[in-house]
Structure 1
Amino acid sequence: MISIELKRAGSIILILFGILIAFITIILFLILCVNFIIAFIKKKPFPKNMLITTLFGVVLVSSIYLYETYFFTFSEIDREYTQDGPGPIISPTEKYTANAFYEPYGGAAGGVNVWVEITYNNEENKVDTVYYGDAKSDFTMKWIDEDTLFIQNDEPDFPNSDRSIELEIGNEIYHENGLACKSLLMKDDYETCYQN
């Protein structure tokens, strides 16, 4: 549990560091543009050091963005303040158990994310996250057959809010904003990844 919390704290620090570097890089770029214009008008030498520093900032910010996008795992879910959702729901052959959890975010003005974990009852300590998205008011789960779970996540008053899906366990996952679908670390965990 501690390693998950440390990894999440490290991820938050990395994002904040990336924002700081992006801000500094933008300022350096503006200074570079001014220096370039001055050098052009006054026929002074091109500001090479400022260019190198700005390019270094761009590379650093790009690296942080690429890391956060392509090295995503579900271990970054904030499990400290989670609330139990529907479940456990056992599959017809008792091969799997589905549990849903709610993750509040953003304080009073925020919202709630929901994720579904599948426990493999015949394999020791094997738990996979198969669904992650913004929680809607109508959230339920039911097994269609021994390997297919139907997840209903809908806001009836808003037709475009439906995040419901049928998932074949072991082959399909859903991540609302698609980070799991882009992740190089997770590409071997599923055959099909759905996103909104």
Structure 2
Amino acid sequence: MIILIGFLTFFVTAILLLILCTSMILSSVKKKPFPKKLLTTTLSGVLLVSSIYLYQTYFFTFSGIDRENFQKGPGPVTSPTEEFTAHAYYEPYGGSAGGVNVLVEITYNNEKNRVQTVYYSDAKSHFSLKWKNEDTLFILNDEPKYPNSNRSIELDIGKEIYDESGLACKSMLMKDEYETCYLNY
């Protein structure tokens, strides 16, 4: 929802900016009064668009993901010591022309109600979860036909996360949830 509001605000602000530039040129050529109200409105739009961008970038959490349309993925897979359980979910987007994202959440079995998202990426045709040891999860996410599409990674649970977009790596709200954040542009 906030993305839609941001897009509409950006669009209106861009139009106001064009009108402001035209009005400023006309006011200097025809010696008309400077359009102060239009300047104030345009600057307010620029400030609002900037605020939305900063909010989306530096105050990102995975809680904004639409979980109603999730589909269960492989798993759940419990760690060898049964301390953690990994759950994978698929998130379709964009309708028939869209794609699918994959999200991996870790449930801390010894801590009531503690769930942490550790992986978020575009889903590939080969996807699986496997525990390497008691706290290292290997996530296979690959499309063999396309060599640059490999998003597979080993993550130390409680220390590392992977977010393909990099938003989790920039977020000030999430910086205490991990020591290392991996991203792929």
Q: Aligned partners of 2:119 and 2:73: how far apart in 1?
A: 13
RMSD across aligned C-alpha pairs, in angstroms?
A: 1.1
Task: After superposing the two structures, state which structure 1 stretch, 83-92 or 41-50, moved more.
Answer: 41-50
Amino acid at match of 1:154: D
Deviations 1:129-167 (A, max 9, x none): 100000000001111111111101000000010000110
Matched, 1:71 2:65: no
Matched, 1:181 2:164: no
What is the DSSP-based 3-state SS (H/G/I as helix, E as strand, rest coil) of the residue aligned with 2:90?
strand
> Per-residue deviation at 1:189?
0.6
Aligned to 2:29: 41
Aligned residue-pair number? 184
> Per-residue deviation at 1:184?
1.3
Task: After superposing the two structures, state which structure 1 stretch, 135-144 or 70-79, moved more.
Answer: 70-79
Between the aligned residues of both structures, percent identity stands at 71
The 5-angstrom pairing of residues 28-177 of structure 1 reads 28-177=16-165
Q: Where does the alignment leave 5 or more consecutive residues of structure 2 unmatched?
A: none
What is the DSSP-based 3-state SS (H/G/I as helix, E as strand, rest coil) of the residue aligned with 1:167?
strand
TM-score (norm 1): 0.90
What is the DSSP-based 3-state SS (H/G/I as helix, E as strand, rest coil) of the residue aligned with 1:100?
strand
Matched, 1:17 2:5: yes
> Per-residue deviation at 1:127?
0.9
Aligned to 1:190: 178
Q: Where does the alignment leave 5 or more consecutive residues of structure 1 unmatched?
A: 1-11
Deviations 1:68-101 (A, max 9, x none): 1211111122211211111111111111111111
Q: Structure 1 or 2: larger helix share?
A: 1
Q: Aligned partners of 1:154 and 1:63: how far apart in 2?
A: 36
